[in-house]
Structure 1
Amino acid sequence: MLSYQHIYHAGNLADVHKHSLLAWMLDYLTRKDKPVSYIETHGGRALYDLSADEALKTGEAAQGIARVRHWFDSDHPYMQSLRQTSEKAGENSYPGSPMIAIQRLRDTDQITVAELHPAEHSALELALPTATCRRTDGFALGHAMLPPTPRRGLMLIDPSYEIKDDYDTIPGHIKKYARAWNVGIIVLWYPVLTSGAHHRMLKTLKNDHPDGARYEVSFPPARPGHGMIGSGLFVIRPPFGLAEQAAILKTRFDTLS
């Protein structure tokens, strides 16, 4: 349950998909002069060193952000976060989603991140001294916090899926979240797998939230036999313009081989 560490996968193509759209959504939320709440259920350590042995071992960052960085204009919110991170932490650094949230949000916004792994949580607190970082089960945090203050905002649910029951239990959590926070943007990341393990979860989510949007991209497996061949976001109450951004990104992923 506590074995997963994202450093092995940081900056991979799934991160590019997830983080670029997250950065865009946070930028969208801050266009209005009203505070927002950001809640993340599985935060990781927030800041990653892509020159670390763990990252080099898988080579996923080399196939990911290092390969496709040119996709994004300099003023894209994702590129702004990448640049801000490298300027502060070095050229081999990469921001996780909590770091992107800190960078894209304002002092008036509320940021709460959960991480259960003790070492990852310690690193998270060190990376985000101004955020509320809780060492707790992320799904439980969501139930305890909703609805948050301020009421506007976004929740990112980004589990490792190393607990196989997640595919069965996540829709129940999200159904309660959406009912408790009826104005919040709720974003679930999921892997697109050769096994098809994600299909039943998505069917349930779509039945429960017929207005929810599903954005997927495909990419080659990171190595022969690797089961993840794409990345997906299921978004409840997607902000205006997200579908267009996701479609543009998909055309770029479609060029990969």
Structure 2
Amino acid sequence: MLSYQHLYHAGNLADVHKHAVLAVMLDYLTRKDKPLSYLETHAGRGLYFLDAPEAVKTGEAAGGIARAEVAGWFAADHPYARRLAEVRAAEGATAYPGSPLIAAGALRPGDVMHLAELHPGEFAALQAALPARAGLHLHRQDGLQMALSLAPPMPRRGLMVVDPSYELKSDYEAIPGFFASVARKWNVGVLMLWYPLLPGAPHGPMLAALEAGHPGALRHEVHFPPVRAGHRMQGSGLFIVNPPWGIEEETQRLSKLFG
């Protein structure tokens, strides 16, 4: 959806949930001395500044990452905290990394990144945030099509993040078949889907189909009140196929923090 821009929502509680889990999974995957692939279907601009008018207007970062840090949710050696510190050291105190920068900070020489973003302005910002280097591939195209064309990627070890805007009903409808196709081609890949928890549970049929097709997957949801009047998001969900060992410990810790 070309109207969606994540700058209004960067650093909110859903980002804290998603990025903390992603950082821990990448930390685990990069401990083994074997290269891996990282794919992202809806990359966004990669780097956000939380003092931008768009971010200040919604107040979502103030109720998200700022709240989490004041409350001490993440120790300095937590993978998510390390990525935040690295990006702030390079870009300034108000900088916030999207998942492409969280991944870029965790990956090593020899690892490969494929990032898709269709929005022209967001893609240009992504290019600026992640200068060209060996192993980095930026795709201005539909992210689901990119992932299907690459699966299985080389190296075969790796992780894919799927994070649509969910502004269209078709976003929900396309995911189960897409996951089935990617998993069939890339049976060793860690596949992570993020989805919002909204009134009426529009994610319900999608999750039912995903759970039927991937019985060993991990589903983790956290709940929080809407950040402002009229805001519909009431929580954040992750569905992870082939979850890395030990990730349940982090999700259980986050469940207690979100309360």
- Structure-1-length-normalised TM-score: 0.98
Structure 2 counterpart of 1:79, from 73, 78, 81: 81
Structure 2 counterpart of 1:150, from 139, 151, 155: 155
Partner Cα distance (1:126, 1:164) in 2: 31
Write the mapping of 1:154-165 to structure 2, written as runs, cut at 5 A: 154-165=159-170
Partner Cα distance (1:71, 1:11) in 2: 14
Write the mapping of 1:91-240 to structure 2, written as runs, cut at 5 A: 91-129=93-131, 130=133, 131-240=136-245
Q: Deviations over 1:83-133 (max 9, x none)?
A: 001100000000000000000110110011000000000000111113211
Q: Deviations over 1:22-80 (max 9, x none)?
A: 00000000010000000000000000010000000000000000011220000000000
The one-letter amino acid paired with 2:15 is: D
Identical-residue share of aligned pairs (%)? 56
The one-letter amino acid paired with 1:51 is: D
The one-letter amino acid paired with 2:44 is: G
The answer for the alignment partner of 2:247 in structure 1 is 242
Residues 195 and 227, structure 1, Cα contact 8 Å, conserved in 2: no
Moved over 4 A (4+): none
Partner Cα distance (1:214, 1:206) in 2: 9
The one-letter amino acid paired with 2:53 is: D
The answer for the alignment partner of 1:90 in structure 2 is 92
Could you list the runs of 5+ residues in structure 2 that have no partner in the other structure? Answer: none
The answer for the alignment partner of 2:24 in structure 1 is 24
Partner Cα distance (1:195, 1:54) in 2: 27
Q: Deviations over 1:202-232 (max 9, x none)?
A: 0000011111110110011111232110001
The one-letter amino acid paired with 1:156 is: V
SS of 1:162's equivalent in the other structure is: coil
Partner Cα distance (1:90, 1:218) in 2: 30
The one-letter amino acid paired with 1:222 is: V
Q: Which moved more, 1:228-237 or 1:126-135?
A: 126-135
Could you list the runs of 5+ residues in structure 1 that have no partner in the other structure? Answer: none
| Per-residue deviation, 1:193 | 1.0
SS of 2:10's equivalent in the other structure is: coil
Partner Cα distance (1:238, 1:231) in 2: 18
The one-letter amino acid paired with 2:91 is: A
How many residues align? The count is 254
The answer for the alignment partner of 1:14 in structure 2 is 14
Residues 18 and 233, structure 1, Cα contact 8 Å, conserved in 2: yes
